[in-house]
Structure 1
Amino acid sequence: MNKTELIAAIAADTQLSKADAGRVLDSALDNLTRTLARGEAVQLIGFGNFTVASRAERTGRNPSTGEPMTIKASKAPKFTAGKALKDAVNAPA
């Protein structure tokens, strides 16, 4: 499912127009992004948790030359599925 298909499904489920459903989805994703950018977690009960994980600076290798190089420290978004989502995915078809 891509974003367009998700918007169409939201519109069908909520009786909103596709334009309104698109704005709702964009707003939800923007708020999720802004919250994670501040270093805060987002918890959606029954779905999962979005958090920010810190990655330490480390040494890697340039794949084309084999030379060692330093990979800068960074932050990465992390998602942990909730029990209800895991159960739904593992339910027999």
Structure 2
Amino acid sequence: MVQTGTLTRADLAEVLHGDIGLSRAESAMLVEQILGHMCEALASGENVKISGFGSFVLRDKAERIGRNPKTGVEVPIAPRRVLTFRASQAMRERIIEAD
């Protein structure tokens, strides 16, 4: 499947429907369940690693001082948790080959 633009949940469900033969409803439900499990794990503080694809990692960022670029006024930036994605080596190699 060659795709341009954005890959959506519906696109993933359609691939499952076409390649595996699940009904469209079953395919959509499976995609939702997988994404739901990932969201629950991340919300509970767990990292998510998908072998051959990459890792979704939660990081805690400390409070820091930022600057309003327009006015130059310093403002404190509250501590927060951020989600980062790191592609696996296999994924990086596939992306490089696609260029």
TM range (shorter): 0.7 to 0.9
Residues 8-50 of structure 1: CA deviation (Å, up to 9, x unaligned): 1222122111211111111111111111122111221111111
Structure 2 unaligned runs (5+)?
A: 1-6
Aligned to 1:34: 40
Aligned to 1:86: 92
Task: Please tell me the root mean square deviation across aligned C-alpha atoms, in Å.
Answer: 1.9
- Quote the offset at 1:6 in angstroms: 2.1
5 Å-filtered alignment, 1:12-23, equals 12-23=18-29
- Quote the offset at 1:72 in angstroms: 1.0
Percent identity, aligned pairs only, is: 30
Q: How many residues align?
A: 93
- Quote the offset at 1:63 in angstroms: 5.3
CA distance in 1, matches of 2:21, 2:30: 13
Decide which of 34, 59, 64 is 2:65's aligned counterpart: 59
Which of 29-38 and 57-66 deviates more? 57-66
SS of the residue 1:91 aligns to: helix
Q: 1:71 to 1:23 in 2, by over 3 A?
A: same
Decide which of 55, 72, 76 is 2:78's aligned counterpart: 72
SS of the residue 1:24 aligns to: helix
SS of the residue 1:30 aligns to: helix
Decide which of 49, 55, 61 is 2:55's aligned counterpart: 49
CA distance in 2, matches of 1:13, 1:77: 31
Structure 1 unaligned runs (5+)?
A: none
